[in-house]
Amino acid sequence: MTSIGDLLEEKKEWKVSEYSVYKYIPNQETINRDGAEPRAAGQGFSLILVGTSISTDREPFLREHVGTKITHSSLYRSNGQVTTLDPELFPPSSQSYHCLVEVSPDENNSKNEEEILYLLSFMSIGKQGLDLFRTELDKYCKSLHPLLRELPPSNPSESFPGSNLEIRVKNWFSENVEYLSRVVQRCQKELPLLLHTAVEPYVEVAGDDLGAIKDINEFLEACSLANLMQFSSESSPVDQSFVKITVTKDDCQVTGGESSKFTDNWAQVLLAQGTASPDPFFIRQAIENYKLKIIQDLNALKRLLRQAETDYHSLFRCFVFMVSCSNGPLLLRCALQEAQTLSSPDTMAVLEAIKLYTDKHGFQNNLTT
């Protein structure tokens, strides 16, 4: 058997992304390292290889490493975990996402078979930041259910080569991570509008390129503040705004969208690495920082709004804050939508006063004391 030392001496190049698919059998103290029958290893389960992109000499060590990781942590079905891979076996900064997927047998051919468990492992080689894409990867693993169900439960590894599942998992990195790079390359001129569109209630993405449409929808979801705000998608929009994004051959066009100095500046951050081959991990971290800044400013505004409900001086300070932060239009839209969702009439009254002023004078810093 190949030793760790032998692996370290090898000069084989790694791909940016790798994958492995295992059949997970609980309540058996095994980890299959050599392709033979599972043998006892004190883990409380067995991992039987279904398919992988990793070489046969490296894969057993990955299987043991992943098995050890999930043994010492809680493994929840359909909710993946990200771990750092052993630097003695993988290039530095490599990470692995693994998710336990429960697949029900085909209703027409179940024959009273029990549910089957698969462990999906996706690795980013030499790259940190896979945890930023857990939402995409969790959703992606759920989408693989029908393809996993196509594999014969008794011996799935025989049917994996050339299967629809293999075709799909080969592209996991492109589908769940690199979409950010493609959107930045395609829509660089429209990035300020796309960033602002993250808080719009009605957005339509249209065009002939279905792949590009999917990428832009994923980008908008990554920029969305819905999970960070007390916001209901069922509530009616504040001003019945509607944004349409039309995907063309080489770029995209945004109709009905808005931008501000704030989104202009953050768009430049996303473009900081250029458009030739932007790093999706850098882009995603920048998006998370962008959302954090909005939430911080929104929290500051809400504190002022509570004071302004009973104090005219605080109302003036709200005006000053809104026109000075470079992010007034976006904050006003977020605050109005959240106040509407929470049915807060006092806050709505203050916001309507601010909106009345800004509709007339704009968000220019022209207030005087």
Q: Angle 17-149-81 (CA atoms, 0-180°, nearest 5)?
A: 40
Q: In this structure, how many other beta carbons lie within 10 angstroms of the beta carbon of residue 273?
A: 15
Lowest mean pLDDT among 71-80, 90-99, 188-197, 240-249: 71-80
Q: Quick: pLDDT tens for 124-154.
A: 988 889 999 999 999 999 999 999 999 988 8
| Band of residue 201 on the pLDDT scale cut at 50, 70, 90 | low
Question: What pLDDT, on a 0 to 100 scale, did the predictor assign at position 85?
Answer: 85
Full DSSP string of 300-369? HHHHHHHHHTT-HHHHHHHHHHHHHSS-HHHHHHHHHHHHHHTT-HHHHHHHHHHHHHHHHH-S-S----
CB 66 within 8 A of CB 32: no
| Interacting residues of 58 by C-beta distance below 8 A, sequence separation 6+ | 7, 89
CB 271 within 8 A of CB 279: no
Query: Residues of the chain with pLDDT > 70: what percent?
Result: 82
| Band of residue 16 on the pLDDT scale cut at 50, 70, 90 | confident
Q: Quick: pLDDT tens for 223-279.
A: 988 777 665 555 454 555 688 999 987 788 888 888 888 999 999 999 988 777 889
How high is the mean pLDDT of the chain?
81
The pTM assigned to this predicted structure is: 0.84
Residue 253's φ and ψ, nearest 5 degrees, are: -125, 135
